[in-house]
Structure 1
Amino acid sequence: MPHKFNAARRDNITKQKQRVTNWSEYNEGLRQRGDLTVWISKDALGLWSAPPRTTRGDQRKYSDLAVEICLTLGVVFKQPLRQTQGLMRSIAGLLGVEIAVPDFSTLSRRSSGLTLRATQKPGGGKPVHLVVDSTGLKIFGEGDWLEEKHKIKRKRRSWRKLHLGLDFVSGEIVCCDLTKDDVGDPTALPDLLAQVDGPVDLFLADGVYDGEPISELLATRFGSPIDVTIPPPTNAILSPNAAKDPTERDWHVAEIAARGRMAWQKATGYNHRSRAKLSWAAGKQLLGRS
């Protein structure tokens, strides 16, 4: 990013030297990154036990909420089921709450048929500011040990492409689709947009979505008032009818030619795509290798 800002005068910029002088504050800031605060609300404690059964069968001891909380903590801290049970038991002891912790066999059995509760979407039906992008997911197969033991040839690593649509105002993922690695982003966009229920005011995407077919798709799906922000390529030119009936893409091309691409990004809010990138990177870091 700094190279884009200073491209015209890069050869005249002296090398900057940064020196840390407030070591105590710097070290304390690094230590605070490891701080951990966990609490269980009173509402969750009240719903920890399963409600009375109204049909035939054994009475369950733990509610779906209790199992969901335990499994969520296990995924976040990358713990197997036995360690998840111990983690939840230690948290209950530190908080001083009298709750029974599900054992690892209960977590394993209940996880297969667990129905997650639907969360209320933030925003109250307000129009979505949609950011669309894709990221690659690697499929792991046999490891080096299995290859050495059985003398088998390692299979070619395969990938899947995860297409995501994020509302950068609320941070909620509103649509997603998993395809093979040979499916292009514009090809997967119609199925992705079909999952969006409410209206969309703003559509942000990178230059791979540039083109008239995508503009027509967005206008048909969400209506013409939608604000589409897609960066045109560096060699983009105005349409033949730009003087009489300019399109939104013509406006972007003219703004970039007049003010520069960085000024255009600030004016249109295109930089908000970085927030989506950070959210997806955090999600991949959370899931890790599986």
Structure 2
Amino acid sequence: MIKRVFRLTLRAAQGFIDSIFALMDVPLRCPDYTSVSKRAKSVNVSFKTPTRGEISHLVIDSTGLKVFGEGEWKVKKHGKDRSRIWRKLHLTVDASRHEIICADLSLNNVTDAEASPGLIRQTHRKIRSVAADGAYDTQRCHDELPRKKISALIPPRKGAGFLPGEYAERNRAVANQRLSGSNARWKWTTDYNRQSIAETPMYRVKQLFDGSLA
């Protein structure tokens, strides 16, 4: 695991682990890298995730991963000097297990709403409800989810208008927003705040990739 996360050779991983033991004043040593290399061939660890059964609550979110260009701090401090290239990572998370169910990588100009149907199809499982942020508040999403008999927990965007047709749940959320001035009450009554569960897996992914694909 350490070798994969920090992108180390076996020799470097051995030294890294030994240095951690030394810092912690633990009288242990990492096995020799040649021994690890030989024994790794016989290790058979499966990280298989469940592929059957109902998902009671699925959370969808996305984040940007930089392919090329300057860092966020440099741009904020001194402005942008050169072009930056990004990709967008879309994730679905099982709220009850905090587990990433599927992922998709797209160009930066692909909207969250455009990517969502593909993510739903990738699960290959029955889903009771889906929570996502206001970026998914589009007619396409509100059509696609009920068609698959999935309850949608998507807050309307600020200043959103009513949709004509059979969008009762969504239009009630819009009416609530206009009445109270925000989506806070709607989020509380629908338990929408579970959507924040996606932040933890998203943080794990960004730590592994260091926010970059380079």
TM-score range, shorter chain: 0.7 to 0.9
Of 199, 208, 226, the residue aligned with 2:135 is: 208
Q: CA deviation at 1:175?
A: 1.4
**Structure 2 matches for 1:24-39, cutoff 5 A?**
none
Please give the alpha-carbon distance, in whole angstroms, between the structure 1 residues aligned to 2:173 and 2:135.
15
- 1:125 aligned partner: 53
Q: CA deviation at 1:160?
A: 0.7
- CA distance, structure 2, for counterparts of residue 285 and residue 219 of structure 1: 35
Q: Which residue identity is paired with 2:192?
A: Y
CA distance in 2 between counterparts of 1:89 and 1:184 reads: 46
- The answer to whether the aligner puts 1:227 opposite 2:151 as a matched pair is yes
Instruction: Give the aligned residue type for 1:173.
Output: I
Is 1:139 aligned to residue 53 of structure 2?
A: no
* Superposed displacement of residue 100, structure 1: 5.5
Would you say the 8 A contact 1:161–1:179 is kept in 2? yes
Query: Does the Cα contact within 8 Å between 1:84 and 1:104 map onto a contact in 2?
Result: no
**How many angstroms does 1:155 deviate by?**
6.8
**Larger radius of gyration, structure 1 or 2?**
1
The corresponding residue for 1:278 is: 200
Distance 1:157 1:211 in 2: 28
Deviations 1:229-252 (A, max 9, x none): 1111232344456xxx66211221
Aligned to 1:73: 2
Q: CA deviation at 1:268?
A: 1.3
Q: Give the aligned CA root-mean-square deviation in angstroms.
A: 3.8
Look up the equivalent residue of 2:160 and give its one-letter code. Answer: A
- How far is the alpha carbon of 1:101 from its aligned partner? 4.7
- Give the TM-score normalised by structure 1: 0.56
Gaps of 5+ in 2: 71-80
Alignment partner of 1:178 out of 102, 105, 121: 105
Is the Cα contact below 8 Å between 1:161 and 1:180 reproduced in 2? yes
Alignment match, 1:218: 145
Deviations 1:169-206 (A, max 9, x none): 11111111001111111222222221112111111111
Aligned residue type for 1:177: D
8 Å contact from structure 2 (residues 87, 108) kept in 1:
yes
Q: TM-score, normalised by structure 2?
A: 0.73
Aligned residues: 196
Identity among equivalent positions (%) equals: 32
Give CA-to-partner distance per residue, 1:46-90, whole Å, 9 cap, x none.
xxxxxxxxxxxxxxxxxxxxxxxxxx12244x2621221334578
Whether 1:287 and 2:209 are equivalent positions in the alignment is: yes
Question: Paired residue for 1:199?
Answer: 126
Residue aligned with 1:103, SS: helix
Q: Counterpart of 2:78?
A: none
CA distance in 1: counterparts of 2:190 and 2:83, whole angstroms:
42
Shift, 1:118, TM fit: 4.1
Picking from 152, 177, 185, the partner of 1:263 is 185
Query: Which residue identity lines up with residue 252 of structure 1 in the other structure?
Result: A
* Higher-strand-fraction structure: 2
The residue type equivalent to 1:129 in the other structure is H
1:47-66 matches, within 5 Å, as none
Write out per-residue CA displacement over residues 135-170 of structure 1, whole angstroms, 9 at most, x where no aligned residue: 00011479xxxxxxxxxxx97321111011111211
CA distance in 2 between counterparts of 1:271 and 1:233 reads: 16
What amino acid is the match of 1:263?
R
Larger RCO (CA under 8 A, 6+ residues apart): 2
Counterpart Cα distance in 2 of 1:238 and 1:79: 50
Cα distance change on mapping 1:268 and 1:182 into 2, 3 Å: same
Contact 2:59/2:198 (<8 A) preserved: yes
Matched, 1:253 2:182: no
- 1:272 deviates by 1.8
Q: Could you say if the C-alpha distance between residues 246 and 135 of structure 1 is closer, same or farther in structure 2, counting changes exceeding 3 Å? A: closer
Asked whether the equivalents of residues 89 and 101 of structure 1 are also in contact (C-alpha less than 8 Å), the reply is: no
